[in-house]
Copies of this chain bind each other. A is one copy, B any other.
Amino acid sequence: MNNQFKKIHQVISSYIEINNEEWISYSSKFRVKEIRKKEIILSQGDICRDVFFVVNGLLRVFFVDNNGEEKTFHFSFENTFSTDYESFLKKIPSSYSIQALEDTTVVLMSFEMLHDGYKILRNGEKLGRLLAEEYFFIFNDKIQAIYTQSPIVRYNNLTRKFPNILQRIPQHYIASYLNISSVHLSRLKNSQ
């Protein structure tokens, strides 16, 4: 099996039963893309045509708010999916941009192939449901964290969960992710 598809196969297999034949047919439609650091693979306002699976590297999902300021919404690490799922599903302009923070390899899954999967794979609809549910869980946790945890607690949780995040992601992006200013994060860190 194409080595780049190994992990994605593993992830999908954890959701549904998929046999060899199905996988060969399904994965034949994957496309692979190399993205250079700082390159943007989805621009806010464009319709999001693909779900990206990060094989290696790192993506940043962000948007520009009404005051023209970038807000970092999510970091997509290796072996996770990244997309504007609402734009992707509804074919409406994306609210987010997605940018590579490092040279990154992604597997592209188009809307068409995902929807074909609903019919072609025996458990295609189930896969769709579980993916939607999984995405939902992420957002649910995110909202709860915002409501219940102070920025510094969220920061500590983040660095505990991803110990090398500080080596890979500039601190002001993390501040933006926490929805506080970079100055404030610096203060919080150095006074706790």
Query: Per-residue CB proximity of A143-159 to B under 8 Å, as 1/0?
Result: 11011110000000000
Q: Taking the complex as formed, is A23 at the interface, i.e. its CB lies under 8 A from any CB of chain B?
A: no
A:79-100 near B, CB below 8 Å: 85-86, 89, 95
Query: Are the CB atoms of B85 and A179 closer together than 8 Å?
Result: no
Query: Are the CB atoms of A148 and B86 closer together than 8 Å?
Result: no
Chain B residue numbers with a CB within 8 Å of A66 are 148-149
Q: Taking the complex as formed, is A126 at the interface, i.e. its CB lies under 8 A from any CB of chain B?
A: yes
Q: What's the interface size class on A, roughly?
A: 20 to 34
Instruction: State A86–B140 Cα separation when bound (angstroms).
Output: 8
Q: Which residue of chain B is the closest to A136 with respect to CB atoms?
A: B136
Pick the interface stretch among A7-15, A34-42, A51-59, A127-135: A127-135
Q: Taking the complex as formed, is A30 at the interface, i.e. its CB lies under 8 A from any CB of chain B?
A: no
Instruction: State A149–B95 Cα separation when bound (angstroms).
Output: 14
Q: Which residue of chain B is the closest to A73 with respect to CB atoms?
A: B147
Inter-chain pairs besides A86-B140, A132-B133, 17 sampled, C-beta below 8 Å: A63-B147, A63-B148, A66-B149, A71-B147, A85-B136, A85-B140, A86-B137, A95-B144, A118-B126, A125-B125, A126-B128, A136-B136, A136-B139, A139-B139, A139-B143, A142-B143, A146-B146
